[in-house]
Amino acid sequence: MDGNFTFSIIKPNAVRTGKTGPILAMINEAGFEIAAMKMVKMTVEQAESFYAVHKGKSFFESLIEFMTSGPVFVMILKHDNAVEEFRKLIGATDPNKAEPGTIRKIFAISVQMNAVHGSDSDENAQKEADFFFSTFERFLI
């Protein structure tokens, strides 16, 4: 059965430029409920651990620098079939390839500064949610 939650990050470029509100509005309008949310500034160690799967890739170091460059909003979002539905809402990693009307198409500045993160599987949604939130910080799920 598909999971009912996913994990998301509003990335530093979007927070810095005041896009948190508009992005949250799109998330709510698409029917996602916020089950947990907080603002954090990731340490280099946290970002390296969160993105460990990309270690060794050409963009890894600059991705870590970017993701630790300012505060982000981390969230758990509730929805039926949440992982797949949220990936549809945010669009492709590269905003040039993202569908019109998707969050990345609207708010990304580049492939790296693509405004939002969304988990790619139920297993990773669970891991990523557990990475940032204790059980006392989440509701609805």
Nearer to ligand IDP, 80 or 94 (CB): 94
Nearer to ligand IDP, 96 or 139 (CB): 96
Using CB distances below 5 to 8 A depending on partner kind, what does residue 59 bind out of ligand IDP, Mg ion, none?
ligand IDP
Candidates 95, 124, 123; CA nearest to 111 is 95
Yes or no: say if 77 and 5 are a contact pair by the CB < 8 Å rule. Answer: yes
Nearer to Mg ion, 27 or 83 (CB): 83
Looking at residues 112 to 141 of the shown chain, list those that interact with Mg ion (rule: CB under 5 A): 120
Binding stretches for ligand IDP (CB under 6 A): 59, 63, 93, 111-112, 114, 117, 120
Provide the minimum distance between the beta carbon of 115 and Mg ion in the complex, in angstroms, as a whole number: 14
Candidates 93, 83, 139; CA nearest to 114 is 93
Nearer to ligand IDP, 105 or 117 (CB): 117
- Please confirm, yes or no, whether 54 is among the known catalytic residues: no
Task: Please state the separation of Cα 85 from the chain's center in Å.
Answer: 13
Q: How far apart are CA 94 and CA 96, in angstroms?
A: 5
Looking up tokens 């039926």, which residue turns up?
80
Yes or no: say if 19 and 90 are a contact pair by the CB < 8 Å rule. Answer: no
Q: How far apart are CA 69 and CA 93, in angstroms?
A: 20
Among residues 19, 104, 105, 117, which one is catalytic? 117
Looking at residues 62 to 121 of the shown chain, list those that interact with Mg ion (rule: CB under 5 A): 120
Q: Name the residue number minimizing CB distance to Mg ion.
A: 120
Catalytic residues: 117
Where on the chain is the footprint of Mg ion (CB under 5 A)? 120
